[in-house]
Amino acid sequence: MVDKRLFSLVPGVCGLVVGKIICLWIGLVADIALAGTVTVLVASLFPQTSVHSAMQSIGISGSSGFMLIAIATLAVATVRFLAHHFATRLGTEAAERVKLGLRSELYRKMLRLGPSYAQRTRTADVVQLTGEGVDQIQSFFELFLPQLGFAILAPLTLFAAIAPLNMPTAVVLLVCAPLIIVIVGAIAMTTAKTFKKYWGKYTDMGSVFLDNLQGLETLKTFDADARAAEQMDKNAEDFRVMTMRVLQIQLRSLTAMDVVAYGGAAAGIGTALWQYVHQGHTAFTSSAPFLHVFNGPTLGVAAVLFVILVSVDFFLPLRQLGSYFHVAMNGMTSTKRIFALLDEPDRAYGDRQLPQGALDVTTCDLGFAYAESARPALHDVTLMMPARSLTAIVGESGSGKSTLAALIAGELEGYNGALRIGNVELRELSERALTGAVSIVGARSHLFAGTLRDNLLMARPGASDAELRDALARAHVLDMVDTHPQGLDMRIEQDAANLSGGQRQRIAVARALLHDAPIMIFDEATSSVDAESERLIMRTVHELAERKTVILVTHRLADAVDADVIAVFDHGACAATGTHAELMAQGGQYATMFRAQASVEQVGQRARNCGIAYAAAPASNTVEHNVKQPESAHTQCTPMTTFQLVRRLLGQVGDLRPLMVLACCFGTLGHLAATFLPVFGVMALCAAAERPVWGLSVGWAVALMVVCALIRGAMRYCEQYMNHNLAFRLLALFRGQMFAALRRLAPAKLTGKGKGDLISMVTTDVELLEIFFAHTISPTVIALATTVVYALALLFLSPWFAVLLVVAHLLIGVAVPAWFARALHGVGARIRKQSASLDDDVLDDMRGLGQIIRFGQGHARLARIDRQSRALWGQRVELSARNGVFGGFDHVIIVLVTVCAALLAVFASRGDMAMAARNVTAMVLVVSSFGPTLALSALPASLTQTFASAWRLFALVDEEPAVEELGTLEPEYHGMRMEQVTFAYGARTPVLRDVTLDVPVSGIFGLQGPSGRGKSTLLKLLMRYWDPQQGVVALSGDVLPGVDAHTRRRLQTMMSQETYLFDGTIASNLRIANEQASDDELREALRKASILLLVESLPQGIETPVGELGGRLSEGERQRIGLARMFLRHADLYLFDEPTSRLDALNEAYILQSINELVSERDAAVVLVSHRASTMKIADEVLHM
């Protein structure tokens, strides 16, 4: 059941689990002592005629006797308090150690997988395992394992306590107990597959949410977010259905266990009664006056009463173990998934080191194929990349250039042939030698959330400010840094959302320069920078080539002209090598691509519909509207009080109220049955002792016990089914509301929000709401209803007991929870905040793991994660400590109330045997009545995080978007206009100031300028991501706030710099733009995007999966699929943001020709943003920014 490696993985946890088992056992011994004390006090009433003689019979007389009772009570209460407190503390310590150990081991495993980790696992899977997966194992160690040990000890201990009194009774109880274990084991064996599917559905839901979240801007651009929301709702509903299947399995087991437990208790009590009536033998003898009531030779009232008091406790640990069944199954399933990753073979490194100085790179018959592809990405590549030189690798997109770069950098493994660095085979290099030898800057280099200084110091931890500034200067980004108020300490948000594409790329270049490896790979490193920055960065590249081995992967042939060696790749092979002059003289593929620049020069001439057309007259109704200032991503909403929060949560129930009412009714009946089972047992004892209560005979009382056992089992199933049916329906509703809120906030308000935090919200935070809907509403009603019934019953037995019960229940169910809740103020919010921060950092690290490994910062980043985990550990230990204290107070109150009830039974009887019988019955009712109320007392510990999660969810739902989509106008497209527009992000310097321009009705309008000048921002204002602080943006003469959002998205569409591809097939990615597109239309769009031949060469064609984040495709291929989406969209205005930045010259020519065709065929308007002059050749007008 338990993978033993968990104990060796986390030293000391075994001792903590054993310690909790011992504490639970000590608590049980204290309960047995309490039951014995109470039995001694009240059982002496039956053969006596006065209180005085009853007390004398057990050796209690005068103040010394009562002092003895007080000391015994105090001792039992103290032991019970300490046992509960330390059991809670030890369980939490064990769980938190496991979490820390597993999270650290998973992180270390990812580091051991090396730069090629992405070949083995997906980011979303690792994030889920380190988050929810580890949490499931936490519950396994904190709850299930200690309870398993205790459930074995408890029946044996109780057997040892009962056996001397009456062996047949003890045997009956002991025989029934293992049936519960058999039921749990049988169900566990038959339902493992169901739980595996359940966990799979859960992780799949998180992965789909992450996918849709990261691509939400794309979904909204193509008006496909509603379809994605429907799919998310379907996934949530499928998960709910799967969860209900799992629940039904659990509930069937709980029902069977309750029937066995309460039926076993009834059988044990019945056996004791039979032995009493038929003068069964007892082996117990004691000379102590205090225990005289238990002496034989025949079974007496005291022994039967003791059996009644402990019979339910005989099965309680086993029932509790059964209730943790789902925890065990989830824990085991999660453990298997975690160890499946941990069992992946580590990256195989050699032990060879590299010589100092410059290193050449050579390949000989090098080949490589991706696991899922039948077509090799590289084959028979023989190439020499000399030291102290610049080698340019060029070719069409998808020809294998980036694959070769990834192999040299160690980001892919499994090649055949030879790949040598400094005459040492790459697979023979040690990890330090490999990562230290190669620096790579890709087209999507990851920047970590934090400061600019933090990101730079990853490459060289000891670098001085002067060295950092020098690297920034060589990457030509220092001017931007110097103009920022915080300089090197400027904040970088999640996904570098506060930087332009060019700024992000140049910072990545600066970081690589700091790493100062002998081999520098630039893989499309200048694809997102303007022409001037590109020129300056290329100057730096050439300077580096004087002392290093520089490999430049580029589609920009102009960057390759001055290279020492140019390698031309074609369909995975190195087709030619040489200098620019040599290759041009050969007249091969290189010359063809280079001359394609001439084609680009002539693309600007369209055969028809030449020129650009604007609206006939300026718009007359472009009046200025007051708009909201763009706010931070972390808008703070007005906090709700706890009462307001509870009201709002209850308001979500809506039409599901009948389920809630039924749950309360079933639960009340079930708990009444559980409480009255021992009460009817006492009534049967009284009847057997010729002191009947309410006129019940022994037969009727025993029959009612059996009925109570059956009702308890049936009602437990019905109550829990209704509760969880209600809860899971509401959780699915909350997930839908969350995604609806994110759709409303996207894209502007999601900028800078932690994706890990948002994933945590849709998984952990939403799941925590189950505690409120399934374990708070009905238990509260049940506690109130049962207390009223108990009090009414006690009024008919002995009114003073009703007063005692009401006072006790007010203390346990109201006073202690209120005190507990005040003591926990803010703890839950701090835990959720700390947990969200940890989730963000784990996701950030997993997405940038390649850089972490490359720069040798794995241990430093892991230490950071460990510090956060330990801080969260501290918060949870604080919660646990308070939970242990207040839970201990509950046990103290129960001990005191139990003794008080016993003393009240003694002194209220006044020698009247009939009254004594009623009082003893009332006492058992009071002692047995605390179950529902104790559930309320434990709620603050559970609800502190639940309420914090609810506040977080409602804050997201209530957050105001950057723009309100309330427009109703549905105009046709007659151009757009920006008039005197000024826009800034928050309180920063304006990106656009007093900009006025007209967007044409048809034709191509170009925007050109350096990075950071606001070109992309201008497009986003046209798409109404934000509204400007000053001025207006109008569509067909109507201000954008007045235009219906769906109409606007139908009329216009945009392709951003980063093409997001979802984790599906090529066809499903294309149909985001046009859901109804036929396969032929998809192929035509792919042809226009110059990628049809590549797609048709794949084994599955357009049904080929693109992989997580499009990772199976090159940058150019990703960009062309994004372009194909645009060609599928039947819009009037197309906005292209750097559409050819990652394409070779030949494909650029094809794409630009396709844009020309788009304008000509559809008489459409295009706004084309690029920093490249070649792209602007097709523009009818160009605005320089």
pLDDT digits (tens, 9 = 90+) for 982-993: 998 877 788 899
Q: Left, alpha or beta for 414 (phi > 0: left; psi -120 to 50: alpha)?
A: left
pLDDT reading at 2 higher than 70: no
Angle among Cα 790, 796, 800 to the nearest 5 degrees reads 75
Residue found under tokens 């919200």: 761
- Are the C-beta atoms of 1062 and 215 separated by less than 8 Å? yes
Nearest alpha-carbon partner for 136 in 202, 87, 183: 202
As to burial, measured by CB atoms within 10 angstroms (0-12 exposed, 13-18 middle, 19+ buried), residue 103 is buried
The pLDDT of residue 681: 94
Axis crossing angle, helix 777-797 with helix 657-688, rounded to the nearest 10: 30
List beta partners, residue 995: 981
C-alpha of 312 from chain center: 39
Please state, in angstroms and rounded to a whole number, the distance separating the CA atoms of residues 789 and 500. 68
Best-predicted range by mean pLDDT among 329-338, 668-677, 952-961?
668-677
What residue type is assigned to position 83 of the chain? A
Please state, in angstroms and rounded to a whole number, the distance separating the CA atoms of residues 872 and 526. 41
As to burial, measured by CB atoms within 10 angstroms (0-12 exposed, 13-18 middle, 19+ buried), residue 272 is buried
The pLDDT of residue 617: 55
The pLDDT of residue 130: 84
The pLDDT of residue 1109: 39
pLDDT reading at 623 higher than 50: no
List beta partners, residue 1133: 1052, 1165
pLDDT reading at 634 higher than 70: no
The pLDDT of residue 1098: 72
Alpha carbons within 13 A on the beta-carbon side of 185: 7
Report which of residues 967 and 617 the model is more confident about. 967
| Neighbour tally for 598: CB within 10 Å | 11
Please state, in angstroms and rounded to a whole number, the distance separating the CA atoms of residues 1048 and 1131. 10
pLDDT reading at 597 higher than 70: no
Angstrom distances, CA of residue 451 to CA of 457, 491, 494, 855:
10, 4, 11, 17
- Are the C-beta atoms of 366 and 393 separated by less than 8 Å? no
pLDDT reading at 561 higher than 80: yes
Phi, psi of 446 (to 5 degrees): -85, 135
The per-residue b/e assignment along 894-912, b for 16 or more CB within 10 angstroms, e otherwise, is bbbbbbbbbbbbbebbeee
Please state, in angstroms and rounded to a whole number, the distance separating the CA atoms of residues 925 and 708. 14
Could you tell me whether strands 438-441 and 519-523 are parallel, antiparallel, or unpaired per DSSP bridges? parallel
Please state, in angstroms and rounded to a whole number, the distance separating the CA atoms of residues 764 and 43. 51
Please state, in angstroms and rounded to a whole number, the distance separating the CA atoms of residues 749 and 1026. 9
The model's confidence at residue 62, banded by pLDDT at 50, 70 and 90, is low
- Are the C-beta atoms of 515 and 439 separated by less than 8 Å? yes
Report DSSP letters for 578-626, one per residue: E-HHHHHHHTSHHHHHHHHHHHHHHTT--SSS-S-B--SS--S------
Phi, psi of 1168 (to 5 degrees): -115, 115
Q: Name the maximum alpha-carbon separation found in the chain.
A: 124
pLDDT reading at 15 higher than 70: yes
Kindly state the DSSP code that residue 1065 receives in the 8-state scheme. Answer: B
Angle among Cα 948, 950, 953 to the nearest 5 degrees reads 110
The model's confidence at residue 80, banded by pLDDT at 50, 70 and 90, is very high
The pLDDT of residue 1012: 73
Kindly state the DSSP code that residue 1141 receives in the 8-state scheme. Answer: T
pLDDT reading at 137 higher than 90: no
The pLDDT of residue 199: 65
| Neighbour tally for 1079: CB within 10 Å | 12
Nearest alpha-carbon partner for 335 in 514, 218, 196: 196
Q: Please, what is the average pLDDT of the chain?
A: 85
% helix, strand, coil for the chain, step of 5: 65, 10, 25
- Are the C-beta atoms of 46 and 906 separated by less than 8 Å? no
Q: pTM for this structure?
A: 0.77
pLDDT digits (tens, 9 = 90+) for 1032-1050: 999 999 999 999 999 999 9
The pLDDT of residue 293: 63
| Neighbour tally for 1166: CB within 10 Å | 25
The pLDDT of residue 747: 84
Q: What is the 3-state secondary structure (H, E, C) of 635-679?
A: CCCCCCCHHHHHHHHHHCCHHHHHHHHHHHHHHHHHHHHHHHHHH
Phi, psi of 384 (to 5 degrees): -115, 120
Element (H, E) at 392: strand 389-395
**Token digits of residue 351:** 């032990």
Angstrom distances, CA of residue 381 to CA of 348, 363, 399, 404, 531:
23, 7, 12, 9, 32
pLDDT reading at 49 higher than 50: no
Nearest alpha-carbon partner for 389 in 414, 425, 355, 362: 362
Catalogue all structural domains in the chain, each as residue range(s) with its CATH number: 5-344+655-958 (1.20.1560.10), 361-597 (3.40.50.300), 976-1184 (3.40.50.300)
Please state, in angstroms and rounded to a whole number, the distance separating the CA atoms of residues 49 and 545. 109
pLDDT reading at 1070 higher than 80: yes
Residue found under tokens 């696992």: 121
The pLDDT of residue 604: 59
**Token digits of residue 321:** 């173990």
Residue found under tokens 């909204």: 220
pLDDT reading at 963 higher than 70: yes
Angle among Cα 334, 340, 345 to the nearest 5 degrees reads 155
Please state, in angstroms and rounded to a whole number, the distance separating the CA atoms of residues 271 and 169. 5
What's the average model confidence in pLDDT over 933-938?
A: 88
pLDDT digits (tens, 9 = 90+) for 143-171: 888 998 998 899 999 999 999 888 999 99
What's the average model confidence in pLDDT over 69-83?
A: 92
Residue found under tokens 């390649």: 850
C-alpha of 155 from chain center: 39
Choice among 535-539, 690-694, 889-893, 1178-1182 with the minimum mean pLDDT: 535-539
What percentage of the chain exceeds 70 in pLDDT? 89
- Give CA torsion, residues 182, 185, 190, 195, to 10 deg: 140
**Token digits of residue 520:** 């520098």
Mention every residue, 6+ apart, whose C-beta is less than 8 A from residue 699. none
The model's confidence at residue 649, banded by pLDDT at 50, 70 and 90, is very high
Element (H, E) at 307: helix 301-323
| Neighbour tally for 648: CB within 10 Å | 13
Element (H, E) at 78: helix 62-113
Element (H, E) at 1038: strand 1038-1039
Please state, in angstroms and rounded to a whole number, the distance separating the CA atoms of residues 635 and 582. 60
List beta partners, residue 1035: 976, 1038
The pLDDT of residue 121: 82
pLDDT reading at 1110 higher than 50: no
Please state, in angstroms and rounded to a whole number, the distance separating the CA atoms of residues 1075 and 111. 41
Please state, in angstroms and rounded to a whole number, the distance separating the CA atoms of residues 353 and 714. 71
What's the average model confidence in pLDDT over 306-335?
A: 80
Choice among 47-56, 354-363, 601-610, 1102-1111 with the minimum mean pLDDT: 47-56
Please state, in angstroms and rounded to a whole number, the distance separating the CA atoms of residues 155 and 793. 32
Please state, in angstroms and rounded to a whole number, the distance separating the CA atoms of residues 366 and 400. 12
pLDDT reading at 672 higher than 60: yes
- Give CA torsion, residues 552, 556, 559, 561, to 10 deg: 100
The model's confidence at residue 22, banded by pLDDT at 50, 70 and 90, is very high
Q: How large is the C-alpha radius of gyration of the chain?
A: 37
